[in-house]
A and B are shown apart, each in its own frame.
Chain A
Amino acid sequence: MIGAFADLLERLAFTPQRLRKLDHLRQFFAAQPDPERGLALAALTDDLGLRAVTPSMLRGLASDRLDPELFAISYDFVGDLAETIALAWPDAVPGPEVALSELVAELRETPKTRLPQAIAARLDALGPSQRYAYLKLATGGLRVGVSARLARQAVADFGGLALAEVEELWHGLKPPYADLFAWAEGGAKPVSAARAPFRPVMLSTPTDATALADLDPAQFIAEWKWDGIRVQAVSDHGTRRLYSRTGDDISGAFPDLLAALDFDGVIDGELLVRRGDHVAPFNDLQTRLGRKAPSAKLQASHPAALRAYDLLLWQGQDLRSQPFDTRRAALEQAVAVLDPVRVDISALLAFTTWDDLARLRADPPEAVIEGVMIKHRDSPYLGGRIKGHWFKWKRDPMLVDAVLLYAQRGHGKRSGYYSDFTFGVWDGDALVPVGKAYFGFTDAELKELARFVRGNTIERFGPVRAVAPNMVVEVAFEGLNLSPRHKSGVAMRFPRISRIRFDKPASEADTLASLRAFLPE
Chain B
Amino acid sequence: MADTPLITRPEGLYCPAGDFYIDPLRPVARALVTHGHADHARAGHGAVLATAQTLDIMALRYGEGFCQTRQVAEGRMRIGDSTVSFHPAGHVLGSAQIKVKSAGPSVVVTGDYARTPNPACAPWEAVPCDIFVTEATFALPVFRHPDPALEIGKLLASVAAFPDRAHLVGAYALGKAQRVIMLLRQAGYDAPIYIHGALQKLCDYHLSQGVPLGELRPATVARGNKGDFAGTIIIAPPSAFAATWAQRFPDPVICFASGWMMVRARARQRGVELPLVISDHVDWPELTATITELNPAETWVTHGREDAILRWCAMQGRAAKPLRLVGYEDEPE
Q: Which residues of A contact B (CB under 8 A)?
A: 13-16, 66-67, 69-71, 73-74, 77-80, 83-84, 87-88, 91, 145, 412-417, 454-455
Contacts and interface: CB of A to CB of B under 8 A. Distances in A.
A74 B263 contact: no
Interface stretch (B182-190, B232-240, B264-272): B264-272
The CB with the most chain B CB atoms within 10 A, among A71, A77, A80, A455, is that of A77
B263 A416 contact: yes
B269 A88 contact: no
Given A70-B312, A73-B305, A84-B142, A416 B262 contact: no
B122 interface: no
Q: Which 10 A-B pairs have the closest CB atoms?
A: A87-B142, A415-B265, A88-B141, A73-B308, A88-B142, A74-B142, A74-B140, A73-B307, A14-B273, A69-B311
A70 B265 contact: no
24 contacts: A13-B264, A13-B268, A14-B264, A14-B267, A14-B272, A16-B268, A16-B271, A69-B311, A70-B308, A70-B311, A70-B312, A73-B308, A73-B311, A77-B142, A78-B142, A79-B263, A87-B142, A145-B268, A413-B265, A413-B269, A414-B265, A416-B265, A416-B269, A455-B326
B265 A80 contact: yes
Contacts of A83: 263-265
Contacts of A413: 265, 268-269
A341 to B, nearest CB: 48
B60 to A, nearest CB: 27
B248 interface: no
Nearest to A454: B326
B264 A73 contact: no
A308 to B, nearest CB: 41
Nearest to B263: A78
Nearest to B315: A67
B57 to A, nearest CB: 26
B273 A15 contact: yes
Interface string B256-300: 000000111111110111110000000000000000000000000
Interface of B: 140-144, 262-269, 271-275, 305, 307-308, 311-312, 315, 326
Contacts of B305: 73, 77
Nearest to A71: B141
Contacts of B140: 70, 73-74, 77, 88
Nearest to B261: A14
Nearest to B146: A128
A78 B260 CA distance: 10
A87 B262 contact: yes
Chain A at the B interface: SS class: helix
B281 to A, nearest CB: 15
B273 A16 contact: yes
B200 to A, nearest CB: 28
B187 to A, nearest CB: 21
B268 A14 contact: yes
B308 A74 contact: yes
Contacts of A416: 263, 265-266, 269
Contacts of A80: 264-265
Given A77-B305, A88-B141, A67 B311 contact: yes
The CB with the most chain A CB atoms within 10 A, among B265, B267, B272, is that of B265
Contacts of A145: 268
B154 to A, nearest CB: 11
B168 to A, nearest CB: 14
B164 to A, nearest CB: 14
A193 B304 CA distance: 57
Contact of B265 (A67, A78, A91): A78
A414 B268 CA distance: 10
A134 B325 CA distance: 39
Contacts of B273: 14-16
Contacts of A91: 144
B310 to A, nearest CB: 10
Contacts of B143: 87
Nearest to A129: B264
Contacts of A78: 142, 263, 265
A514 B283 CA distance: 51
A84 B273 CA distance: 21
A88 B263 CA distance: 11
Given A87-B263, A415-B263, 19 more contacts: A13-B268, A14-B274, A14-B275, A67-B311, A67-B312, A67-B315, A70-B140, A73-B307, A74-B142, A77-B140, A77-B263, A78-B142, A87-B144, A145-B268, A412-B265, A413-B268, A413-B269, A414-B265, A416-B263
Contacts of B269: 413-414, 416-417
A66 B311 CA distance: 12
A134 to B, nearest CB: 15
Contacts of B144: 87, 91
A78 B274 CA distance: 19
A488 to B, nearest CB: 30
Contacts of B141: 66, 70-71, 74, 87-88
A87 to B, nearest CB: 4
A408 to B, nearest CB: 14
Contacts of B263: 77-79, 83, 87, 415-416
A69 B309 CA distance: 11
B211 to A, nearest CB: 31
B322 to A, nearest CB: 10
Contacts of B142: 74, 77-78, 84, 87-88
Contacts of A412: 265
B161 to A, nearest CB: 12
Nearest to B275: A14
Contacts of A454: 326
B97 to A, nearest CB: 25
B273 to A, nearest CB: 5
Contacts of A16: 268, 271, 273
Contacts of B268: 13-14, 16, 145, 413
Contacts of A14: 264, 267-268, 272-275
A415 B268 CA distance: 10
A415 B263 CA distance: 9
Contacts of A455: 326
Nearest to A410: B265
A415 B265 CA distance: 6
Contacts of B262: 87
A105 to B, nearest CB: 28
Contacts of A70: 140-141, 308, 311-312
A355 to B, nearest CB: 41
Contacts of B308: 70, 73-74
The CB with the most chain B CB atoms within 10 A, among A78, A83, A84, is that of A78
